[in-house]
Structure formats: structure tokens, C-alpha cells
Amino acid sequence: MNYLVTGGAGYIGSHMVRLLQEHNHNVTVIDNLSTGHKELVNNCELINIDIKDKDAIEKSLSKKYFDGVFHFAAKSIVKESFINPDLYKKNNVDGTNNLIEKIKKYEINNFIFSSSASVYGNNHKNYIKENDNLNPSSPYGETKLESENNIYRYCKDENFKAISFRYFNAAGAHPSGEIGENHVPETHLIPNIVKSILDNQYKLKLFGGKNNPTIDGTCIRDYVHVNDIVNAHYLGMQKINNLEPYNVFNIGSGEGYSIIEVINAVEIVTNKKVDYAYSEERQDEPPFLVADISKIKNHTKYKPIVSVSEGISRTLDYNNISAKK
């Protein structure tokens, strides 16, 4: 099969490319390299274009037929989305519309969209199901929800099928240690904890406050390993023609960990003490965000495999390897 992966030079996208190649599929990557890394794209074509450019998309699609598209390309820093919401609208919503319009023109009818648990907002106290209220609390979340709604409308064309995957807190690195989290700035918790252990000059700051209605006052999140995320995408693409034209699935581990519990897990894995300080509370930070994953389990063979502890170990391996390069 020939697959197109947008954002394939980024964190999750590069893991998707690696998985597809492991299954002997041909992969083409579209990435503008604004946050992606060219060196992560190996043994496949990299097309350096921006999805906001309709003409560039069309030129790329006119050269080769694709059996399906995995769409990861997006702006994804919540804090930045408050500062520059128009940028997020143009990139995440308009860019996605541009892509779908062009792939439909070329009769590419299987589409996997990288959505986010941010569409649910912050008013949830129980495990979150796909049919729960949608009330995003950030411009980033709003762009993901608007894109989902647009994709649903595109799927009214009987030939076009799509899945939106709402994943929770992506974490971890590839077992090879060759690819992992390398965001600038790094906003994810686990790599920042690991950095505080490896770099004595780096002081870990905990956002979200310590006065939340949780077991220790810190936010609870569902940390799902990046390999489990891309495996869900792969399973979804395999099943897409046996499902309704449009589907939404949560991707998570189905388990919640507070920030302090994650720090404790890192300390156990590394046998080192983590030094941290609380910083300001972030705007509209939900105290509890954990996935109910029963729907995706029922519709596919998805089963989260990589534990938080194993994910921490892989992150350490990736950081140690990267430091030696």
C-alpha cells in the first residue's frame, strides 16, 4: 500500500512512518519542517510543503496515488494558541480543509485525522467517552473540534471515509531509541522530568497547580505511549472500510496518573530524586483527563501495551542516545 503521512517528520508522525515501513508499506511524507526534523525521515520521500498551500498539495498528489492519508500536521502548543489563535485556525482548520479537498479530487478516500482530548474541555470528573460533552477550553482544542465537524461533513460523500482519533497525553519514545520527543519548546511532562535528572542546571517546574480536586492536588492525566497511538492509527486504517463513513475514537491507556505519581515513577526507574517547584496555574487546565477506551477496543484490536514505567525507560534511552550524538 502507498500511504501519505502529513507531519511525518514530527514526533508522532515519525513513529507512524516507522510503523508503516515495518509493515512493508510505501510512505510519502509531507512536512514543512517548522517543528519537524528532516533527519527523522528515512527511506521514503519527504515533500517540504505547507498544507496551507493548496497548489503545492495538488502538485504533490498529482504524482502518485495513495491508498490512505494519515494527517498529523498541526500546530499543537496550547499556550501558544491563546497568543496567536489566528495562526492555529489557518494551520489546523484551513490546512486540513485544503488537504481533504485535494485528496478527494484525486479519489483518495481513506483519511485518518489526528485529533485531541482537548476537545472535551475541563468539566469531566469521570472517564471520558466519545459521546460526552464537547467544550474545548483553548483555541487549540477549538481548532481540533472544528476540523472534526468539517471532516464529518466531508464524509457525507458516500465514497469518503474518515476516523478522528482523540488521543490523550502522548508519551515515550521508539524502542530503538532513535526517535522520541524533541519539541521546541518541550511542553510534555515526562521528557521534562527526565531532563531535570540528566541536566543539573535544569529546574523542573510543575504547571497546573497543587490545589486540584485530586488525590495529591496535581492534575491527573492519561499517558499513552506513542507506539500504542500509532498502532491504533494503523488498526483504524485497516478497519476503515468496515466501519461507518465517519467515526471518532479515544486513544489512551485508560488509566490516570497524577503529576506527582509520574514523578514518583521516574524516581523508581532512575533511582534518583527529582527536584521540582510549582509554577503558575495554566489557563483553563482540566484537573482530570482520562480516556474511556472501550469503544476502540470493541471496534478494533487495539490494546495499550506500553506501561508508564516502560515509557519512562524508553524516554531515558532516547535522551541518552541523543546526548551522545
268 and 228 together in one domain: no
pLDDT of residue 207: 75
CATH code for the domain of 140: 3.40.50.720
Which residue among 233, 251, 269 closes a domain? 251
- Are 29 and 11 in contact, with CB atoms under 8 Å apart? no
Distance CA 187, CA 43 (A): 29
Which of 229, 232, 223 lies closest to 309, judged by CA?
Answer: 223
Distance CA 279, CA 302 (A): 37
- Is 140 in the active site? yes
Quick check: is 199 in a domain? yes
**148 and 115 in contact (C-beta within 8 Å)?**
yes
3-state secondary structure the chain: CEEEEECCCCHHHHHHHHHHHHCCCEEEEECCCCCCCHHHCCCCEEECCCCCCHHHHHHHHCCCCCCEEEECCCCCCHHHHHHCHHHHHHHHHHHHHHHHHHHHHCCCCEEEEEEEHHHHCCCCCCCECCCCCCCCCCHHHHHHHHHHHHHHHHCCCCCCEEEEEEECEEECCCCCCCCCCCCCCCCCHHHHHHHHHHCCCCCEEECCCCCCCCCCCCCEECEEEHHHHHHHHHHHHHHHHHCCCEEEEEECCCCCEEHHHHHHHHHHHHCCCCCEEECCCCCCCCCEECECCHHHHHHCCCCCCCCHHHHHHHHHHHHHHHHHC
pLDDT of residue 20: 98
The residue range of the domain holding 200 is 189-221+254-324
Q: What's residue 323's pLDDT? A: 40
Q: What are phi and psi of 216, to 5 degrees?
A: -125, 10
Largest pairwise CA distance in the chain: 57
pLDDT at 281: 66
User: Considering the domain boundaries, does residue 176 fall inside one?
Assistant: no
Query: Do 20 and 126 reside in the same domain of the chain?
Result: yes
Residue 182 within any structural domain of the chain: no
Q: Residue 322: its pLDDT value, please?
A: 46
Q: Does 195 share its domain with 242?
A: no
CA distance 223 to 311: 9
Confidence (pLDDT) at 324: 41
Are 207 and 286 part of one and the same domain?
A: yes
Residues whose CB is less than 8 angstroms from the CB of residue 54 and which lie 6 or more positions away in sequence, other chains included: 98, 101, 102
Total count of residues recorded for the chain: 325
Q: Is residue 112 part of a domain?
A: yes
Same structural domain for residues 290 and 304? yes
**In terms of domains, do 270 and 247 share one?**
no
Per-residue confidence of the chain (325 residues) as pLDDT tens digits? 999 999 999 999 999 999 999 999 999 999 999 988 999 999 999 999 999 999 999 999 998 899 999 999 999 988 899 999 999 999 999 999 999 999 999 999 999 999 999 999 887 778 999 999 999 989 999 999 999 999 999 999 879 999 999 999 999 989 888 887 776 666 788 888 888 888 877 888 887 778 888 889 888 999 999 999 999 999 999 999 999 999 999 999 999 999 999 999 999 998 999 988 887 666 567 788 999 999 999 999 999 999 999 998 888 887 764 444 4
Shared domain for 211 and 294, answered yes or no, is: yes
Nearest Cα to Cα of residue 76 among 134, 6, 29, 144: 144
Statement to judge: residues 161 and 196 lie in one domain: no
289 and 202 co-located in one domain: yes
Q: Evaluate whether residue 193 is within a structural domain.
A: yes
Query: Would you state the pLDDT for residue 321?
Result: 42
Please give the pLDDT value at position 95. 98
Q: What is the CATH number of the domain that holds 304?
A: 3.90.25.10
Domain annotation covers residue 179: no
What is the structure's pLDDT at 185? 67
Total domain count, the chain: 2
Same domain, 150 and 213: no
Q: Strand 257-258 and strand 220-221: pairing?
A: antiparallel
Catalytic, out of 11, 88, 120, 140 = 140
Residue written as cell 517548522? 34
Specify whether 28 is located in the same domain as 118.
Answer: yes
The answer to whether position 214 is within a domain reads yes
CA angle 281, 282, 285 (to 5 degrees): 105
Indicate whether 58 and 207 sit together in one domain.
no
Q: Is 275 inside a domain boundary?
A: yes
Please measure the distance between the N-terminal and C-terminal CA atoms of the chain and give it in whole angstroms: 34
